Protein backbone atom coordinates (compact mmCIF):
# COMPACT_ATOMS: atom_id res chain seq x y z
CA UNK A 1 0.00 0.00 0.00
CA UNK A 2 1.40 3.37 -0.96
CA UNK A 3 2.13 6.18 1.42
CA UNK A 4 -0.73 8.19 -0.10
CA UNK A 5 -3.22 5.39 0.41
CA UNK A 6 -2.24 4.99 4.07
CA UNK A 7 -2.60 8.68 4.67
CA UNK A 8 -5.92 8.98 2.90
CA UNK A 9 -7.36 6.02 4.73
CA UNK A 10 -6.71 7.54 8.10
CA UNK A 11 -7.94 11.02 7.15
CA UNK A 12 -11.27 11.86 8.70
CA UNK A 13 -13.60 14.78 8.31
CA UNK A 14 -13.08 17.06 11.32
CA UNK A 15 -16.13 17.13 13.52
CA UNK A 16 -16.78 20.85 13.33
CA UNK A 17 -20.19 22.15 12.44
CA UNK A 18 -20.21 23.86 9.03
CA UNK A 19 -20.74 27.58 9.62
CA UNK A 20 -24.10 28.73 8.35
CA UNK A 21 -24.14 32.01 6.55
CA UNK A 22 -27.29 33.97 6.27
CA UNK A 23 -27.92 35.33 2.81
CA UNK A 24 -30.14 38.25 2.02
CA UNK A 25 -32.21 37.84 -1.13
CA UNK A 26 -30.28 39.09 -4.17
CA UNK A 27 -32.75 38.94 -7.02
CA UNK A 28 -31.73 39.87 -10.54
CA UNK A 29 -34.15 42.33 -12.16
CA UNK A 30 -36.97 40.37 -13.77
CA UNK A 31 -37.94 43.40 -15.88
CA UNK A 32 -34.79 42.96 -17.95
CA UNK A 33 -36.63 40.26 -19.88
CA UNK A 34 -39.28 41.77 -22.12
CA UNK A 35 -41.67 38.90 -22.60
CA UNK A 36 -44.40 39.42 -25.19
CA UNK A 37 -47.83 37.96 -24.64
CA UNK A 38 -47.57 35.92 -27.83
CA UNK A 39 -44.94 34.89 -30.36
CA UNK A 40 -45.20 34.04 -34.05
CA UNK A 41 -42.78 31.99 -36.12
CA UNK A 42 -39.54 33.49 -37.44
CA UNK A 43 -39.51 32.78 -41.16
CA UNK A 44 -37.66 34.63 -43.91
CA UNK A 45 -36.49 37.33 -41.53
CA UNK A 46 -39.94 38.16 -40.12
CA UNK A 47 -42.22 37.14 -37.32
CA UNK A 48 -45.24 35.56 -39.01
CA UNK A 49 -48.45 33.87 -37.95
CA UNK A 50 -48.65 30.13 -38.42
CA UNK A 51 -50.94 28.74 -41.15
CA UNK A 52 -53.17 27.12 -38.53
CA UNK A 53 -54.39 28.81 -35.37
CA UNK A 54 -52.62 26.46 -32.96
CA UNK A 55 -50.52 27.75 -30.09
CA UNK A 56 -49.12 26.49 -26.82
CA UNK A 57 -48.12 28.10 -23.55
CA UNK A 58 -44.67 28.36 -22.05
CA UNK A 59 -44.47 28.74 -18.29
CA UNK A 60 -41.97 29.66 -15.60
CA UNK A 61 -41.28 26.25 -14.02
CA UNK A 62 -40.25 27.82 -10.70
CA UNK A 63 -43.74 29.25 -10.16
CA UNK A 64 -45.90 27.57 -12.86
CA UNK A 65 -46.79 31.09 -13.96
CA UNK A 66 -47.92 31.49 -17.57
CA UNK A 67 -45.37 33.46 -19.59
CA UNK A 68 -46.51 33.58 -23.21
CA UNK A 69 -48.46 31.88 -25.99
CA UNK A 70 -46.22 30.53 -28.70
CA UNK A 71 -47.20 29.61 -32.26
CA UNK A 72 -47.52 25.92 -33.06
CA UNK A 73 -45.92 25.28 -36.44
CA UNK A 74 -47.51 22.62 -38.63
CA UNK A 75 -46.35 20.97 -41.86
CA UNK A 76 -47.30 23.98 -43.99
CA UNK A 77 -45.22 26.29 -41.81
CA UNK A 78 -42.24 23.96 -41.97
CA UNK A 79 -42.61 23.93 -45.80
CA UNK A 80 -42.54 27.70 -45.76
CA UNK A 81 -39.49 27.86 -43.50
CA UNK A 82 -37.58 25.31 -45.59
CA UNK A 83 -38.48 27.22 -48.79
CA UNK A 84 -37.14 30.44 -47.22
CA UNK A 85 -33.94 28.66 -46.19
CA UNK A 86 -33.55 27.17 -49.69
CA UNK A 87 -34.00 30.58 -51.31
CA UNK A 88 -31.44 32.14 -48.97
CA UNK A 89 -28.95 29.29 -49.45
CA UNK A 90 -27.79 30.43 -52.92
CA UNK A 91 -26.59 33.91 -51.95
CA UNK A 92 -25.46 32.91 -48.45
CA UNK A 93 -23.29 30.06 -49.68
CA UNK A 94 -21.92 32.24 -52.49
CA UNK A 95 -20.99 35.05 -50.08
CA UNK A 96 -17.33 35.19 -49.14
CA UNK A 97 -16.34 33.55 -45.88
CA UNK A 98 -15.27 36.96 -44.70
CA UNK A 99 -18.76 38.36 -45.21
CA UNK A 100 -20.40 35.43 -43.44
CA UNK A 101 -17.89 35.84 -40.63
CA UNK A 102 -18.88 39.49 -40.31
CA UNK A 103 -22.49 38.57 -39.62
CA UNK A 104 -21.45 36.00 -37.06
CA UNK A 105 -19.16 38.49 -35.32
CA UNK A 106 -22.05 40.93 -35.28
CA UNK A 107 -24.38 38.35 -33.73
CA UNK A 108 -21.70 37.46 -31.17
CA UNK A 109 -21.21 41.09 -30.17
CA UNK A 110 -24.93 41.76 -29.94
CA UNK A 111 -25.43 38.67 -27.80
CA UNK A 112 -22.60 39.75 -25.51
CA UNK A 113 -24.09 43.25 -25.28
CA UNK A 114 -27.55 41.94 -24.42
CA UNK A 115 -26.19 39.15 -22.20
CA UNK A 116 -28.08 40.15 -19.06
CA UNK A 117 -31.39 40.26 -20.85
CA UNK A 118 -30.77 36.80 -22.35
CA UNK A 119 -29.65 35.41 -18.99
CA UNK A 120 -32.77 36.62 -17.19
CA UNK A 121 -35.10 35.38 -19.91
CA UNK A 122 -33.42 31.97 -20.01
CA UNK A 123 -33.67 31.58 -16.23
CA UNK A 124 -37.35 32.51 -16.25
CA UNK A 125 -38.33 30.19 -19.09
CA UNK A 126 -36.13 27.25 -18.11
CA UNK A 127 -35.89 27.44 -14.29
CA UNK A 128 -32.08 27.32 -14.13
CA UNK A 129 -30.22 29.65 -11.75
CA UNK A 130 -29.21 33.09 -13.02
CA UNK A 131 -25.67 32.39 -11.80
CA UNK A 132 -25.44 29.70 -14.49
CA UNK A 133 -27.18 31.53 -17.34
CA UNK A 134 -25.14 34.66 -16.60
CA UNK A 135 -21.76 32.94 -16.16
CA UNK A 136 -22.05 29.91 -18.43
CA UNK A 137 -24.94 29.60 -20.90
CA UNK A 138 -24.87 33.07 -22.41
CA UNK A 139 -21.10 33.72 -22.45
CA UNK A 140 -20.44 30.25 -23.87
CA UNK A 141 -23.06 30.84 -26.56
CA UNK A 142 -21.36 34.14 -27.49
CA UNK A 143 -17.99 32.36 -27.48
CA UNK A 144 -19.33 29.79 -29.98
CA UNK A 145 -20.44 32.59 -32.29
CA UNK A 146 -17.06 34.31 -32.02
CA UNK A 147 -15.22 31.05 -32.59
CA UNK A 148 -17.17 30.11 -35.70
CA UNK A 149 -17.04 33.66 -37.03
CA UNK A 150 -13.29 33.15 -37.04
CA UNK A 151 -13.56 29.92 -39.05
CA UNK A 152 -15.86 31.29 -41.79
CA UNK A 153 -13.02 32.55 -44.01
CA UNK A 154 -10.55 29.79 -43.16
CA UNK A 155 -12.48 26.66 -44.15
CA UNK A 156 -9.97 25.78 -46.87
CA UNK A 157 -7.39 25.36 -44.10
CA UNK A 158 -9.56 23.30 -41.77
CA UNK A 159 -7.94 20.07 -42.93
CA UNK A 160 -11.14 18.90 -44.59
CA UNK A 161 -9.82 19.01 -48.14
CA UNK A 162 -9.65 21.87 -50.63
CA UNK A 163 -12.70 24.11 -51.08
CA UNK A 164 -15.16 22.27 -48.86
CA UNK A 165 -18.77 23.01 -49.82
CA UNK A 166 -21.78 23.66 -47.59
CA UNK A 167 -24.47 20.99 -47.55
CA UNK A 168 -27.53 23.18 -48.12
CA UNK A 169 -30.50 23.52 -45.77
CA UNK A 170 -29.88 22.18 -42.27
CA UNK A 171 -32.90 21.01 -40.23
CA UNK A 172 -32.10 21.22 -36.54
CA UNK A 173 -33.98 20.13 -33.42
CA UNK A 174 -32.82 20.92 -29.87
CA UNK A 175 -33.82 20.12 -26.25
CA UNK A 176 -34.77 22.29 -23.27
CA UNK A 177 -31.79 21.93 -20.95
CA UNK A 178 -29.55 24.58 -22.56
CA UNK A 179 -32.02 26.31 -24.88
CA UNK A 180 -29.84 29.20 -26.07
CA UNK A 181 -26.54 27.36 -25.95
CA UNK A 182 -27.88 24.42 -27.99
CA UNK A 183 -29.41 26.87 -30.47
CA UNK A 184 -26.05 28.54 -31.01
CA UNK A 185 -24.15 25.23 -31.07
CA UNK A 186 -26.34 24.31 -34.01
CA UNK A 187 -26.62 27.63 -35.84
CA UNK A 188 -23.04 28.94 -35.60
CA UNK A 189 -21.17 26.13 -37.42
CA UNK A 190 -23.97 25.75 -39.98
CA UNK A 191 -23.83 29.44 -40.92
CA UNK A 192 -20.03 29.68 -40.82
CA UNK A 193 -19.87 26.85 -43.36
CA UNK A 194 -22.41 28.51 -45.68
CA UNK A 195 -25.56 26.53 -44.86
CA UNK A 196 -28.94 27.98 -43.96
CA UNK A 197 -31.09 26.61 -41.15
CA UNK A 198 -34.57 25.75 -39.98
CA UNK A 199 -34.46 25.08 -36.25
CA UNK A 200 -37.00 24.03 -33.66
CA UNK A 201 -36.47 24.85 -29.98
CA UNK A 202 -38.01 22.64 -27.30
CA UNK A 203 -41.65 23.15 -26.40
CA UNK A 204 -40.99 24.23 -22.79
CA UNK A 205 -38.20 26.71 -23.59
CA UNK A 206 -38.83 28.66 -26.80
CA UNK A 207 -38.29 32.21 -25.52
CA UNK A 208 -34.52 32.69 -25.81
CA UNK A 209 -34.73 31.39 -29.39
CA UNK A 210 -37.35 34.03 -30.17
CA UNK A 211 -35.13 36.70 -28.63
CA UNK A 212 -32.28 35.40 -30.79
CA UNK A 213 -34.59 35.87 -33.80
CA UNK A 214 -34.79 39.55 -32.83
CA UNK A 215 -31.00 39.59 -32.72
CA UNK A 216 -30.89 38.23 -36.28
CA UNK A 217 -33.06 41.17 -37.33
CA UNK A 218 -30.89 43.59 -35.39
CA UNK A 219 -27.77 42.17 -37.06
CA UNK A 220 -29.50 42.50 -40.46
CA UNK A 221 -28.79 38.88 -41.20
CA UNK A 222 -30.13 38.19 -44.70
CA UNK A 223 -33.74 36.89 -44.49
CA UNK A 224 -34.11 33.12 -44.63
CA UNK A 225 -30.60 32.30 -43.39
CA UNK A 226 -32.03 31.47 -39.94
CA UNK A 227 -35.65 30.32 -39.57
CA UNK A 228 -37.06 29.38 -36.18
CA UNK A 229 -40.23 27.33 -35.95
CA UNK A 230 -41.73 26.60 -32.57
CA UNK A 231 -43.85 23.56 -31.83
CA UNK A 232 -43.96 20.08 -30.41
CA UNK A 233 -42.42 16.75 -31.41
CA UNK A 234 -44.51 16.66 -34.62
CA UNK A 235 -42.98 19.94 -35.75
CA UNK A 236 -39.52 18.43 -35.19
CA UNK A 237 -40.55 15.32 -37.10
CA UNK A 238 -41.78 17.47 -40.02
CA UNK A 239 -38.38 19.18 -40.24
CA UNK A 240 -36.49 15.89 -40.06
CA UNK A 241 -38.54 14.22 -42.78
CA UNK A 242 -38.79 17.24 -45.08
CA UNK A 243 -37.71 16.36 -48.62
CA UNK A 244 -35.77 19.58 -49.16
CA UNK A 245 -33.65 19.37 -46.02
CA UNK A 246 -30.08 18.23 -46.76
CA UNK A 247 -28.74 17.74 -43.28
CA UNK A 248 -30.35 16.92 -39.95
CA UNK A 249 -28.78 17.77 -36.60
CA UNK A 250 -30.64 16.51 -33.56
CA UNK A 251 -29.91 16.88 -29.86
CA UNK A 252 -32.26 15.08 -27.51
CA UNK A 253 -33.18 11.69 -26.17
CA UNK A 254 -31.73 8.45 -27.46
CA UNK A 255 -35.23 7.09 -28.18
CA UNK A 256 -36.10 9.94 -30.56
CA UNK A 257 -32.57 9.89 -32.01
CA UNK A 258 -32.92 6.20 -32.88
CA UNK A 259 -36.27 6.82 -34.57
CA UNK A 260 -34.73 9.64 -36.63
CA UNK A 261 -31.79 7.46 -37.65
CA UNK A 262 -34.16 4.68 -38.75
CA UNK A 263 -36.22 7.14 -40.73
CA UNK A 264 -33.29 8.78 -42.50
CA UNK A 265 -31.47 5.56 -43.37
CA UNK A 266 -30.99 5.49 -47.15
CA UNK A 267 -32.34 9.02 -47.66
CA UNK A 268 -28.92 10.50 -48.46
CA UNK A 269 -29.41 13.19 -45.80
CA UNK A 270 -26.42 13.81 -43.58
CA UNK A 271 -27.15 13.23 -39.90
CA UNK A 272 -25.55 14.04 -36.55
CA UNK A 273 -27.07 12.90 -33.26
CA UNK A 274 -26.20 14.23 -29.81
CA UNK A 275 -28.11 12.03 -27.39
CA UNK A 276 -28.22 10.95 -23.76
CA UNK A 277 -25.50 9.94 -21.33
CA UNK A 278 -24.75 8.24 -18.03
CA UNK A 279 -21.26 9.46 -17.34
CA UNK A 280 -18.90 7.96 -14.80
CA UNK A 281 -16.97 10.35 -12.61
CA UNK A 282 -14.07 8.21 -11.35
CA UNK A 283 -12.32 9.23 -8.12
CA UNK A 284 -9.06 7.48 -7.22
CA UNK A 285 -7.70 7.46 -3.68
CA UNK A 286 -4.77 9.71 -4.66
CA UNK A 287 -7.11 12.43 -5.95
CA UNK A 288 -7.25 15.88 -4.36
CA UNK A 289 -10.40 14.95 -2.47
CA UNK A 290 -11.79 18.43 -1.77
CA UNK A 291 -11.32 19.41 -5.38
CA UNK A 292 -12.92 16.14 -6.48
CA UNK A 293 -15.93 16.85 -4.27
CA UNK A 294 -16.37 20.20 -6.03
CA UNK A 295 -16.13 18.36 -9.34
CA UNK A 296 -18.70 15.79 -8.26
CA UNK A 297 -21.11 18.57 -7.24
CA UNK A 298 -20.50 20.44 -10.47
CA UNK A 299 -20.80 17.19 -12.41
CA UNK A 300 -24.28 16.23 -11.28
CA UNK A 301 -25.93 19.24 -9.61
CA UNK A 302 -25.07 21.86 -12.24
CA UNK A 303 -28.29 22.78 -14.09
CA UNK A 304 -30.31 20.48 -11.76
CA UNK A 305 -28.58 17.53 -13.42
CA UNK A 306 -30.39 18.29 -16.69
CA UNK A 307 -27.10 17.79 -18.49
CA UNK A 308 -26.45 15.10 -21.10
CA UNK A 309 -22.82 14.81 -20.00
CA UNK A 310 -23.65 14.94 -16.25
CA UNK A 311 -21.44 12.84 -13.98
CA UNK A 312 -24.43 10.88 -12.73
CA UNK A 313 -22.44 7.78 -11.68
CA UNK A 314 -19.78 8.41 -9.08
CA UNK A 315 -17.21 5.61 -9.12
CA UNK A 316 -15.10 6.03 -6.02
CA UNK A 317 -12.16 3.89 -4.95
CA UNK A 318 -13.35 1.72 -2.08
CA UNK A 319 -10.81 2.89 0.54
CA UNK A 320 -11.87 6.53 0.22
CA UNK A 321 -15.60 5.90 -0.24
CA UNK A 322 -16.65 6.97 3.26
CA UNK A 323 -14.42 10.03 3.25
CA UNK A 324 -15.65 11.22 -0.14
CA UNK A 325 -19.31 10.58 0.68
CA UNK A 326 -19.02 12.40 4.04
CA UNK A 327 -17.38 15.42 2.46
CA UNK A 328 -19.88 15.39 -0.38
CA UNK A 329 -22.83 15.38 2.01
CA UNK A 330 -21.36 18.28 3.97
CA UNK A 331 -20.89 20.23 0.76
CA UNK A 332 -24.44 19.53 -0.36
CA UNK A 333 -25.77 20.90 2.95
CA UNK A 334 -24.46 24.29 1.83
CA UNK A 335 -26.19 24.41 -1.57
CA UNK A 336 -29.05 26.84 -1.85
CA UNK A 337 -32.18 25.77 -3.68
CA UNK A 338 -34.82 28.30 -4.68
CA UNK A 339 -35.67 31.30 -6.82
CA UNK A 340 -33.69 30.92 -10.07
CA UNK A 341 -33.38 34.70 -10.35
CA UNK A 342 -31.66 35.01 -6.96
CA UNK A 343 -27.91 35.42 -7.53
CA UNK A 344 -27.17 33.17 -4.55
CA UNK A 345 -29.16 30.23 -5.85
CA UNK A 346 -27.25 27.06 -6.70
CA UNK A 347 -30.15 24.76 -7.56
CA UNK A 348 -33.10 26.02 -9.56
CA UNK A 349 -36.36 24.44 -10.66
CA UNK A 350 -36.90 21.24 -12.60
CA UNK A 351 -37.89 22.22 -16.12
CA UNK A 352 -41.32 20.60 -16.33
CA UNK A 353 -43.90 18.54 -14.46
CA UNK A 354 -43.15 15.70 -16.87
CA UNK A 355 -39.43 15.72 -16.06
CA UNK A 356 -40.15 15.93 -12.33
CA UNK A 357 -42.38 12.90 -12.65
CA UNK A 358 -39.64 10.96 -14.46
CA UNK A 359 -37.04 11.83 -11.81
CA UNK A 360 -39.40 10.97 -8.97
CA UNK A 361 -40.31 7.61 -10.42
CA UNK A 362 -36.69 6.59 -11.06
CA UNK A 363 -35.70 7.66 -7.56
CA UNK A 364 -38.53 5.57 -6.11
CA UNK A 365 -37.29 2.62 -8.12
CA UNK A 366 -33.75 3.24 -6.82
CA UNK A 367 -35.03 3.00 -3.25
CA UNK A 368 -37.12 -0.07 -3.99
CA UNK A 369 -34.05 -1.73 -5.50
CA UNK A 370 -32.14 -1.27 -2.24
CA UNK A 371 -30.16 1.94 -2.78
CA UNK A 372 -29.71 4.13 0.29
CA UNK A 373 -31.21 7.54 -0.44
CA UNK A 374 -29.98 10.78 1.12
CA UNK A 375 -30.77 14.46 0.59
CA UNK A 376 -29.71 17.51 2.59
CA UNK A 377 -32.37 19.20 4.67
CA UNK A 378 -33.88 21.69 2.28
CA UNK A 379 -37.26 23.25 2.01
CA UNK A 380 -38.86 23.02 -1.41
CA UNK A 381 -40.97 25.98 -2.59
CA UNK A 382 -44.71 25.32 -2.51
CA UNK A 383 -45.37 26.02 -6.18
CA UNK A 384 -43.31 25.10 -9.23
CA UNK A 385 -41.34 21.93 -9.90
CA UNK A 386 -38.56 21.10 -7.47
CA UNK A 387 -36.37 18.19 -6.50
CA UNK A 388 -33.80 18.19 -3.71
CA UNK A 389 -30.23 17.15 -4.54
CA UNK A 390 -30.12 13.42 -3.92
CA UNK A 391 -27.32 10.91 -3.37
CA UNK A 392 -27.73 7.14 -3.52
CA UNK A 393 -25.12 4.93 -1.89
CA UNK A 394 -25.04 1.14 -1.92
CA UNK A 395 -26.20 1.12 -5.52
CA UNK A 396 -25.99 -2.21 -7.34
CA UNK A 397 -24.33 -2.18 -10.77
CA UNK A 398 -27.53 -3.35 -12.44
CA UNK A 399 -29.92 -1.11 -10.52
CA UNK A 400 -31.95 1.10 -12.86
CA UNK A 401 -30.56 4.27 -11.27
CA UNK A 402 -27.06 3.04 -12.14
CA UNK A 403 -27.99 2.32 -15.73
CA UNK A 404 -30.68 4.74 -16.94
CA UNK A 405 -30.30 8.44 -17.54
CA UNK A 406 -32.29 10.24 -14.82
CA UNK A 407 -31.59 13.75 -16.14
CA UNK A 408 -32.07 15.25 -12.71
CA UNK A 409 -30.10 16.10 -9.53
CA UNK A 410 -29.54 12.49 -8.53
CA UNK A 411 -26.14 10.85 -8.02
CA UNK A 412 -25.57 7.10 -7.83
CA UNK A 413 -22.44 6.11 -5.93
CA UNK A 414 -20.62 2.88 -6.79
CA UNK A 415 -17.18 1.65 -5.74
CA UNK A 416 -14.16 0.01 -7.36
CA UNK A 417 -10.84 -1.39 -6.15
CA UNK A 418 -8.48 -1.35 -9.15
CA UNK A 419 -8.12 0.86 -12.23
CA UNK A 420 -9.15 -2.11 -14.40
CA UNK A 421 -12.36 -2.48 -12.41
CA UNK A 422 -13.00 1.27 -12.69
CA UNK A 423 -12.71 1.07 -16.48
CA UNK A 424 -14.94 -2.00 -16.70
CA UNK A 425 -17.63 -0.37 -14.56
CA UNK A 426 -17.39 3.02 -16.25
CA UNK A 427 -17.81 1.42 -19.68
CA UNK A 428 -20.65 -0.80 -18.53
CA UNK A 429 -23.31 1.43 -20.08
CA UNK A 430 -24.98 1.72 -23.46
CA UNK A 431 -23.98 5.39 -23.48
CA UNK A 432 -20.58 6.99 -24.14
CA UNK A 433 -20.73 10.75 -23.98
CA UNK A 434 -18.36 11.84 -21.23
CA UNK A 435 -16.34 10.70 -18.23
CA UNK A 436 -14.24 12.22 -15.47
CA UNK A 437 -11.05 11.00 -13.80
CA UNK A 438 -9.68 12.35 -10.53
CA UNK A 439 -6.12 11.38 -9.67
CA UNK A 440 -2.82 13.10 -9.04
CA UNK A 441 -1.01 10.92 -11.61
CA UNK A 442 -0.81 12.19 -15.18
CA UNK A 443 0.06 8.69 -16.42
CA UNK A 444 -3.10 7.29 -14.87
CA UNK A 445 -5.21 10.01 -16.50
CA UNK A 446 -3.89 9.00 -19.92
CA UNK A 447 -4.20 5.30 -19.14
CA UNK A 448 -7.85 5.85 -18.22
CA UNK A 449 -8.59 8.21 -21.13
CA UNK A 450 -7.30 5.55 -23.55
CA UNK A 451 -9.71 2.99 -22.18
CA UNK A 452 -12.85 4.95 -21.35
CA UNK A 453 -15.44 4.74 -24.12
CA UNK A 454 -16.56 8.35 -24.02
CA UNK A 455 -16.42 11.28 -26.42
CA UNK A 456 -14.97 13.58 -23.76
CA UNK A 457 -12.80 12.61 -20.78
CA UNK A 458 -12.14 15.32 -18.22
CA UNK A 459 -9.23 15.01 -15.80
CA UNK A 460 -9.44 16.73 -12.42
CA UNK A 461 -12.32 18.83 -13.71
CA UNK A 462 -15.81 18.21 -15.04
CA UNK A 463 -18.44 19.71 -17.35
CA UNK A 464 -15.90 22.02 -18.91
CA UNK A 465 -17.10 23.05 -22.35
CA UNK A 466 -15.21 25.19 -24.80
CA UNK A 467 -15.99 26.08 -28.41
CA UNK A 468 -12.56 24.90 -29.58
CA UNK A 469 -13.05 21.44 -28.13
CA UNK A 470 -15.18 18.92 -30.03
CA UNK A 471 -18.10 17.44 -28.08
CA UNK A 472 -20.09 14.34 -28.95
CA UNK A 473 -20.68 10.71 -28.17
CA UNK A 474 -20.06 7.06 -28.81
CA UNK A 475 -22.52 4.17 -28.77
CA UNK A 476 -26.06 5.26 -27.82
CA UNK A 477 -24.90 8.80 -27.07
CA UNK A 478 -24.87 9.45 -30.80
CA UNK A 479 -22.34 10.40 -33.44
CA UNK A 480 -20.85 13.51 -34.95
CA UNK A 481 -19.08 16.29 -33.10
CA UNK A 482 -20.05 19.84 -32.22
CA UNK A 483 -17.41 22.49 -31.67
CA UNK A 484 -13.78 22.55 -32.67
CA UNK A 485 -12.46 21.81 -36.13
CA UNK A 486 -14.25 18.44 -36.06
CA UNK A 487 -17.61 20.17 -35.65
CA UNK A 488 -17.18 21.88 -39.03
CA UNK A 489 -17.11 18.49 -40.76
CA UNK A 490 -20.79 18.02 -39.91
CA UNK A 491 -21.74 20.97 -42.12
CA UNK A 492 -19.40 20.53 -45.08
CA UNK A 493 -19.11 18.27 -48.08
CA UNK A 494 -15.49 17.71 -49.03
CA UNK A 495 -13.53 14.99 -50.77
CA UNK A 496 -11.68 14.28 -47.52
CA UNK A 497 -15.01 13.59 -45.83
CA UNK A 498 -16.59 11.63 -48.66
CA UNK A 499 -13.63 9.41 -49.52
P1 LIG B 1 -36.51 14.73 -26.64
O2 LIG B 1 -37.84 14.37 -26.14
O3 LIG B 1 -35.83 13.79 -27.55
O4 LIG B 1 -36.67 16.16 -27.32
C5 LIG B 1 -35.63 16.84 -27.95
C6 LIG B 1 -36.22 17.70 -29.05
O7 LIG B 1 -36.81 16.86 -30.05
C8 LIG B 1 -37.36 18.62 -28.60
O9 LIG B 1 -37.32 19.80 -29.35
C10 LIG B 1 -38.57 17.80 -28.94
O11 LIG B 1 -39.76 18.56 -29.05
C12 LIG B 1 -38.17 17.19 -30.25
N13 LIG B 1 -38.87 15.97 -30.63
C14 LIG B 1 -39.64 15.16 -29.86
N15 LIG B 1 -40.08 14.11 -30.60
C16 LIG B 1 -39.57 14.26 -31.85
C17 LIG B 1 -39.66 13.51 -33.06
N18 LIG B 1 -40.34 12.37 -33.13
N19 LIG B 1 -39.01 13.96 -34.16
C20 LIG B 1 -38.28 15.10 -34.11
N21 LIG B 1 -38.18 15.86 -33.00
C22 LIG B 1 -38.80 15.45 -31.88
O23 LIG B 1 -35.49 14.99 -25.48
P24 LIG B 1 -35.72 15.89 -24.18
O25 LIG B 1 -36.34 15.05 -23.15
O26 LIG B 1 -36.38 17.16 -24.52
O27 LIG B 1 -34.21 16.24 -23.84
C28 LIG B 1 -33.46 15.51 -22.98
C29 LIG B 1 -32.52 14.57 -23.71
O30 LIG B 1 -31.62 15.28 -24.52
C31 LIG B 1 -31.69 13.81 -22.73
O32 LIG B 1 -31.65 12.45 -23.04
C33 LIG B 1 -30.31 14.42 -22.89
O34 LIG B 1 -29.25 13.59 -22.55
C35 LIG B 1 -30.31 14.80 -24.31
N36 LIG B 1 -29.33 15.86 -24.56
C37 LIG B 1 -28.18 15.55 -25.22
C38 LIG B 1 -27.21 16.52 -25.45
C39 LIG B 1 -25.95 16.18 -26.18
O40 LIG B 1 -25.27 17.09 -26.63
N41 LIG B 1 -25.61 14.94 -26.33
C42 LIG B 1 -27.43 17.82 -25.01
C43 LIG B 1 -28.60 18.12 -24.33
C44 LIG B 1 -29.55 17.11 -24.12
P45 LIG B 1 -40.63 18.85 -27.71
O46 LIG B 1 -39.86 19.83 -26.93
O47 LIG B 1 -41.88 19.40 -28.19
O48 LIG B 1 -40.78 17.52 -27.02
MG1 LIG C 1 -40.87 27.50 -20.05
Ligand 1 atom closest to residue 477's alpha carbon, by position in its atom list = 41
Mean pLDDT of 490-497: 79
Q: Are 26 and 343 in contact (CB under 8 A)?
A: yes
Does ligand 1 have an atom closer than 6 angstroms to the CB of 392?
A: no
pLDDT (0 to 100) of residue 12? 56
Nearest-CA residue for ligand 1 atom 34 is 276
CA–centroid distance, 271 to ligand 1, in Å, is: 15
Q: Is 442 in the pocket of ligand 1 (CB under 6 A)?
A: no
pLDDT tens across 170-189, in order?
999 999 999 999 999 999 99
With contact defined as beta carbons under 8 Å apart, do 393 and 374 qualify?
yes
The 3-state secondary structure of 322-366 reads HHHHHHHHHHHHCCCECCCCECCCCECCCCCHHHHHHHHHHHHHH
pLDDT average, residue stretch 405-419:
98
Average pLDDT over residues 19-48: 93
d(Cα 25, Cα 1) in Å, to the nearest integer? 50
Phi-psi region of 186 (alpha: psi -120 to 50; beta: other; left: phi over 0): alpha
State the distance between the two ends of the chain, measured CA to CA, in whole angstroms.
52
Ligand 1 within 6 A of CB of 56: no
From 274, 404, 405, 482, the catalytic residue: 274
Instruction: Please tell me if the CB atom of residue 276 comes closer than 6 angstroms to any atom of ligand 1.
Output: yes
Reply yes or no on whether 308 is catalytic.
Answer: yes
Whether 27 shows a pLDDT value over 50: the answer reads yes
Predicted local distance difference test score (pLDDT) of residue 14? 57
- Mean model confidence pLDDT for the chain: 95
Specify the pLDDT at position 18: 60
pLDDT of amino acid 19: 63
> Of 220, 183, 224, which Cα lies nearest the Cα of 201?
183
Find out whether 392 and 412 touch, Cβ atoms under 8 Å. yes
Is residue 129 lining ligand 1, measured as CB closer than 6 Å? no
Ligand 1 atom with the smallest distance to the CA of 257 is 3
Catalytic residue among 117, 308, 309, 482: 308
Instruction: Judge if the beta carbon of residue 202 lies within 6 A of ligand 1.
Output: yes
What is the DSSP track for 76-88?
HHHHHHHHHHHHH
Domains of the chain and any CATH numbers: 30-275+475-498 (3.40.605.10), 277-459 (3.40.309.10)
d(CA 198, CA 275): 20
Give this prediction's pTM: 0.95
Per-residue pLDDT tens digits for 114-130? 999 999 999 999 999 99
Ligand 1: centre distance to CA 254 (Å): 8
How far away, in angstroms, is 127 Cα from ligand 2 center?
Answer: 8
- Ligand 1 atom showing the smallest separation from residue 478 Cα: 41
Give the pLDDT confidence score for residue 497 in this predicted structure: 58
303 in helix, strand or coil? helix
Is the pLDDT reported for residue 8 higher than 80? no
* Closest protein CA for atom 39 of ligand 1: 274
pLDDT at 481: 96
- Alpha-carbon distances, residue 103 vs 43, 109, 181, 191, 278 (angstroms): 18, 10, 18, 9, 37
Q: Which ligand lies nearest the alpha carbon of 482? A: 1
* Alpha carbon distances (Å) from 122 to 63, 111, 117, 277, 366: 15, 13, 9, 23, 32
Q: Return the ligand number nearest the Cα of 350.
A: 2
Is a pLDDT exceeding 80 seen at residue 498? no
Nearest CA to ligand 1 atom 40: 274
- The residue nearest atom 42 of ligand 1, judged by CA position, is 308
Amino acid sequence: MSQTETETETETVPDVATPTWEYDPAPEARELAHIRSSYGLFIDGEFVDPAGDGSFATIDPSTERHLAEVALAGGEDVDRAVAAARKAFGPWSAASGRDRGRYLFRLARLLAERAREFAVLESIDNGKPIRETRDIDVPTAAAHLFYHAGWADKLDWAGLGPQPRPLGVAGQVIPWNFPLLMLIWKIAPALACGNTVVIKPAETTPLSAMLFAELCQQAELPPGVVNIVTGAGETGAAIVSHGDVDKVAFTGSTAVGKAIQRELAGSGKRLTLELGGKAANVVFDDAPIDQAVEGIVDGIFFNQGHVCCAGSRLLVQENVHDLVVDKLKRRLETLRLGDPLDKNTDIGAINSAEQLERITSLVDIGEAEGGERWSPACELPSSGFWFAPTVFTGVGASSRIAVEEIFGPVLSVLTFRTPEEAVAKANNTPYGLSAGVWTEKGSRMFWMADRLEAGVVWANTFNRLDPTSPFGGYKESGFGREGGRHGLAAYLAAPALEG
